[in-house]
Amino acid sequence: MNPFKLLGVLLITLLITTLTPTLLSSSDDRVLVEVLLDRSISDDDLKLISRLGGEVVYRFDEIRGLVVLISEKLINDLVKALGNVRSVGKAGIVRPLSEELPSSCELHNTVLTWNLDLINIPTVHEVYGLSGSGVYIAVLDTGLEPHWRNYFSEDSIVREYATAFLGPRASTNRNAWEADSVGHGMAVTAVILGFKVYDLYVVDGVAPEVKIIPVKVIGNQGWGWTSDLAAGI
């Protein structure tokens, strides 16, 4: 699929705070429903969903999964009509976890931050010579801010495959990945790559030579759908 081997999908962002799903609007009783089947998805399934007034938002043939926008009252009818349903549930809302700004490591009198020192990153870099070269990491988060080039080199961000999955109707906007106003995706990317500060100095990262693929699945409102997270993966 890609000219390189994707060695890791980093869900470090993440988003482990899952909240109670909400309706799309006060006048719309439809919800996003995530369905996993014990069999392959067929065209008949799509027709059946349409007859129930539902809308297929995502179709994941690889995992036999569907994300359907449908009236909350019709979820049980949907399950019965499809048959062979392994699991079903409403899409949850995910939010990025809060982060703290890094501090300098006074022990080494460098800008190698305390969090890297705690997990022995200096040993990994200097003794074993490991820095992430040849590895691609997809960061599923809020994307990057428009001025990301002030902090990361262009070579470290794989813009060709960067994209965004946003909203209950699965709107895909390839350019939205670099229109973040939340900042969490920037922080996560900085932990991995490190970052430069106005060309004055560079704060080291866990794996400074990896290539980052930004995938925006959290909107600028600060939350997103689990279905968009699955699409990003």
- Joined tokens for residue 149: 């080039």
For range 77-89, the mean pLDDT: 96
Name the more confident of 85 and 116.
85
Q: What's 97's DSSP letter? A: P
Is residue 195's pLDDT more than 90?
no
Q: Among candidates 232, 198, 224, 233, which has minimal Cα distance to 96?
A: 224
For range 37-46, the mean pLDDT: 97
Report residue 191's pLDDT band, with 50, 70 and 90 as the boundaries: very high
Sheet holding 55-60, edge to edge: 55-60, 65-71, 30-37, 85-90
Give the three-state DSSP class for 48.
helix
**pLDDT of 155:** 96
Name the more confident of 227 and 116.
227
- Joined tokens for residue 42: 């067929």
Q: Which residue has the tokens 């969090």?
A: 115
Report residue 6's pLDDT band, with 50, 70 and 90 as the boundaries: very low
Name the more confident of 18 and 182.
182
Question: Domains (ranges, CATH) in the chain?
Answer: 8-16+95-232 (3.40.50.200), 28-91 (3.30.70.80)
For CA atoms 35, 41, 43, 48, give the dihedral sign: negative
- The alpha carbon torsion through 81, 85, 91, 92 (nearest 10 deg) reads 140
Q: Please say whether the beta carbons of 183 and 101 come within 8 A.
A: no
Residue 62 to residue 60: CA distance in whole angstroms? 5
State the pTM of this model: 0.67
Q: Please say whether the beta carbons of 150 and 212 come within 8 A.
A: no
Long-range interactions of 126-132: CB distance < 8 A, separation 24+: 131/207, 131/208, 131/209, 132/192, 132/206, 132/207, 132/208, 132/209, 132/210
Is residue 2's pLDDT more than 80?
no
Q: 140 forms bridges with which residues in the sheet?
A: 215
Segment 113-168, tens digit of pLDDT? 667 877 878 778 777 888 899 999 999 999 999 999 999 999 999 999 999 998 76
Q: What is the 3-state secondary structure (H, E, C) of 119-132?
A: CCHHHHHHCCCCCC
**pLDDT of 104:** 52
